[in-house]
Amino acid sequence: MTIPRSPRRLRAGRAATATAGLLATLMVAAGCSAGGTQSQAGGEPQEGGDLVFLIDSLGPTWVPNNSSISSFQGHIWGHLTDKLVYVDENGTVSPWVAESWDQNEDATQFTLKLKDGVTFSDGSPVDAAAVVANLDIWARGDVERGINPIGLFPKTYVSAEALDDLTVQVDFVAPTLGFIPTLGYHGSILISPETLAAPAEEQADLANDIGSGPFVVESWTEGDEVVLKKRDDYDWAPEALDHDGPAYLDTLTYKVVAEPSVRTAAVQSGQAQVAYNPSPQELEFYGEQGFTVAAPRYLGFVNGYAINTQVAPFDDVRVRQALQVGIDRDEILSTVYTDDWLPAASFIQSNVPGATDHSDALVHDPEAAAALLDEAGWVEGSDGVRTKDGQRLSFTLHPNPYLATSQAVDELVAQQLAELGFDVDIQAYDVITFGERVSFANPSIPTYEVTRSFIDAGTVAGVLTDAENGENWFNVGQSDPTLTELAQDVATATTTEERDPVLDELQGYVLDRAYFVPLTQIAQRLYLQSPDVQGVTYNGVAYANYYTAWLAE
């Protein structure tokens, strides 16, 4: 009698991942003729049509506060809801539901004027009271009801008050220049107060979550698909999007297809219009086939190492500086990435307002690196690894599990540094173990590989030192008076004009002291798109917006 063959099944499952890549190539080759039809871009926008977006997952819960910043659900929230302000891919803030705003002199009090006539899809008004309810829940959540706060909302928030139907006053304990840009962040979605008052179990049913966006939920199945249909009376899009009234598309379907090669092949065969997260290796091929590849950058930190300055060998600034100029960033770009990725010019992405060009500090210079290490007393031994007082010049890298290319980048860095006499070990963890073992300012973690988005450069002030519950990324505490003062000045600036020069000085200083060693700028959200899809816009956190999109037939 045959025994159930579960062990074999398990092995097959693991092999599936490997072989799927191979098969993707086969499918691509087989479908060439079908995908060759190129309709050229341009022409007048056309009404109607259904767009299908294939996505790897629809994430965990749909409780708005607990899911709005998810890389998956964020796509749906962006179409179901509006925000108070719009932030474009260059970080420029412009009016949306908030028509205008004011701040007091020390940036601790803001007044928002709301657009008249905006309604949630159940007909209730998006008025001052509704905005206050949203601000409160973003800032504090309601943990006793299972509603998390929005982690990136300014912790300096005190309260909000409706002055009249369309005016909201917001108070902070300290200058909070980042408040207005944060309102355009993916966490700051406007939800009807009625939904917000419901228990988590009800909010977790997407059909109960009422927004004011250009689309509403038509149907959804947990973990499978979400179908959105356009709202005919929508008429309050951000001016920056250059489109009034309802969306062009009739429906927008987000469908889970876990297998990446099936997602891309389905777009190629015309069954769907967009595939999310195609594997970077496939991009060049599809680009040549006439498909659109979009790799928009988000606003945030670049991908790079935050160095723990209290851990040998990085307690010596010269070793850190050797690392800064010892890494060949161009080689990383040409080996691991495609042309869609940009070199780092600072430790924040170059599209962040206030980011300045410090690429001079990041030029590959192996001679300078070797000289720095010599000067610091690290002598090359017979095996090519430098030593000092019997200690080897070695440290461990922990690839960031949230960035797919991280391990490949770390392996290349390890090779590059080996030529300088470093002995670099790589220890990769899964998401759970990484979360438990790898943290900033941890005595056993010499480098923390950063990938994090933010909407306002003021966020930077909160990570540099341990002042004001800062995250202390470099484990310097407040021992470096220059850094402490610069961070303080960024945090307390009351206008961007005042802040920008400080930010520039800060970026130069952090890179010069090699507290942060940047690698490349990040394009974390990738889209493979049929050439029929026109007019897509991308916001400051790299989400595709199909409100402005239309299908050319």
Partner 1 sequence: MSSTTNRSAARRAYGRYAVRRLAQAVAVVLLAYVFTFLVISVLPGDPVSNVLRDPQNNFSEQEIARIVAYYGLDQPIWVQLVEALSRFVVGDLGVSLRSNLPVSGLLADVLPSTLRLAGAALAVALVLAFAIAFGVRNLPAPLARPLRAFPSLFLSVPNFLIGLVLIQWFSFQLGLFLVIDAESLLATFFAAVALGIPVSAQIAEVLIANLDHEARQEYAAVARSRGLGRARLFTAHLLKPSSLPVVTVVALTVGELLGGSLITETIFGRNGVGNLVQRSVATQDLPVLQAVVALAAVVFVVVNLVADLVYPLLDPRVRLDASPARTKEVSA
Residues in contact with partner 1, shown as a per-residue x/- string from 440 to 459 under the rule CB under 8 A: ----------xxxx------
144 binds partner 1 (CB under 8 A): yes
CB of 27 to partner 1, least distance (A): 5
CB of 207 to partner 1, least distance (A): 12
User: What's the CA gap between 239 and 242, in Å, rounded?
Assistant: 6
CB 385 within 8 A of CB 394: yes
With CB under 8 A as the contact rule, which of the stretches 3-11, 274-282, 385-393, 475-483 interacts with partner 1? 3-11
Between the alpha carbon of residue 162 and those of residues 86, 102, 131, 133, the distances in Å are: 22, 15, 8, 10
- Nearest to residue 517, comparing CAs of 324, 311, 381? 324
Between the alpha carbon of residue 243 and those of residues 45, 239, 411, 549, 551, the distances in Å are: 10, 7, 46, 10, 15
DSSP string, 183-231: TTSTT---B-HHHHHS-HHHHTSGGG--B-SSEEEEEEETTTEEEEEE-
Q: Residue 113 corresponds to which tokens in the numbers above?
A: 């004027």
50 binds partner 1 (CB under 8 A): no
Cis peptide before 154 (omega within 30 of 0): no
Q: Three-state DSSP class for 503? A: helix
426 binds partner 1 (CB under 8 A): no
With CB under 8 A as the contact rule, which of the stretches 16-24, 311-319, 350-358, 477-485 interacts with partner 1? 16-24
User: What's the CA gap between 304 and 410, in Å, rounded?
Assistant: 10
19 binds partner 1 (CB under 8 A): yes
With CB under 8 A as the contact rule, which of the stretches 145-153, 309-317, 338-346, 353-361 interacts with partner 1? 145-153
Binding residue (CB under 8 A) for partner 1 from 49, 62, 260, 378: 62
Closest CB to partner 1 among residues 45, 435: 435
Q: Residue 248 corresponds to which tokens in the numbers above?
A: 């062009």
- Nearest to residue 270, comparing CAs of 540, 118, 54, 18? 54
Tally of CA atoms within 13 A in the half-sphere of 446 that contains its CB: 18
Closest CB to partner 1 among residues 27, 311: 27
Question: Which residues, numbered 181-210, are part of the site for partner 1 (CB under 8 A)?
Answer: 200-201, 203-205
149 binds partner 1 (CB under 8 A): yes
User: What's the CA gap between 221 and 91, in Å, rounded?
Assistant: 34
CB of 396 to partner 1, least distance (A): 19
383 binds partner 1 (CB under 8 A): no
Question: Rounded to an integer, what is the distance from CA 34 to the centroid of its chain?
Answer: 34
Closest CB to partner 1 among residues 161, 201: 201
382 binds partner 1 (CB under 8 A): no
CB of 20 to partner 1, least distance (A): 7
CB of 264 to partner 1, least distance (A): 11
Closest CB to partner 1 among residues 102, 201: 201
User: What's the CA gap between 427 and 306, in Å, rounded?
Assistant: 16
Binding residue (CB under 8 A) for partner 1 from 132, 137, 152, 362: 152
Residue type for position 3: I
Closest CB to partner 1 among residues 165, 437: 437
Binding residue (CB under 8 A) for partner 1 from 51, 64, 69, 345: 69
User: What's the CA gap between 439 and 450, in Å, rounded?
Assistant: 10
CB-based contacts of 358, cutoff 8 Å, min separation 6: 345, 346, 507, 508, 511
Closest CB to partner 1 among residues 30, 129: 30
Neighbouring C-beta atoms of residue 304, cutoff 10 Å: 26
User: What's the CA gap between 108 and 137, in Å, rounded?
Assistant: 19
221 binds partner 1 (CB under 8 A): yes
CB of 100 to partner 1, least distance (A): 29
Closest CB to partner 1 among residues 429, 509: 429
Question: Which residues, numbered 385-414, are part of the site for partner 1 (CB under 8 A)?
Answer: 402
Binding residue (CB under 8 A) for partner 1 from 85, 226, 266, 327: 266
219 binds partner 1 (CB under 8 A): no
Binding residue (CB under 8 A) for partner 1 from 255, 320, 329, 386: 255
User: What's the CA gap between 6 and 12, in Å, rounded?
Assistant: 10
Q: Residue 240 corresponds to which tokens in the numbers above?
A: 């920056």
Closest CB to partner 1 among residues 333, 526: 526
With CB under 8 A as the contact rule, which of the stretches 100-108, 156-164, 269-277, 500-508 interacts with partner 1? 269-277
Closest CB to partner 1 among residues 27, 174: 27
- Nearest to residue 186, comparing CAs of 61, 351, 70, 56? 70
Between the alpha carbon of residue 73 and those of residues 223, 323, 400, 433, 454, the distances in Å are: 11, 38, 22, 24, 18
- Nearest to residue 63, comparing CAs of 192, 181, 209, 261? 209
Binding residue (CB under 8 A) for partner 1 from 158, 197, 258, 418: 258
302 binds partner 1 (CB under 8 A): no
Counting residues that bind partner 1 (by CB under 8 A) gives 69
Q: Three-state DSSP class for 180? A: helix
Closest CB to partner 1 among residues 169, 271: 271
Binding residue (CB under 8 A) for partner 1 from 109, 111, 148, 396: 148
Q: Where along the sequence are the contacts to partner 1 (CB under 8 A)?
A: 1-2, 4-6, 9, 12-13, 15-16, 19-20, 23, 26-27, 30-31, 34, 52, 54, 57, 60-63, 66, 69, 143-144, 146, 148-149, 151-152, 200-201, 203-205, 221-225, 253, 255-259, 261-262, 265-266, 268-269, 271-272, 402, 431-433, 435-436, 450-453, 469
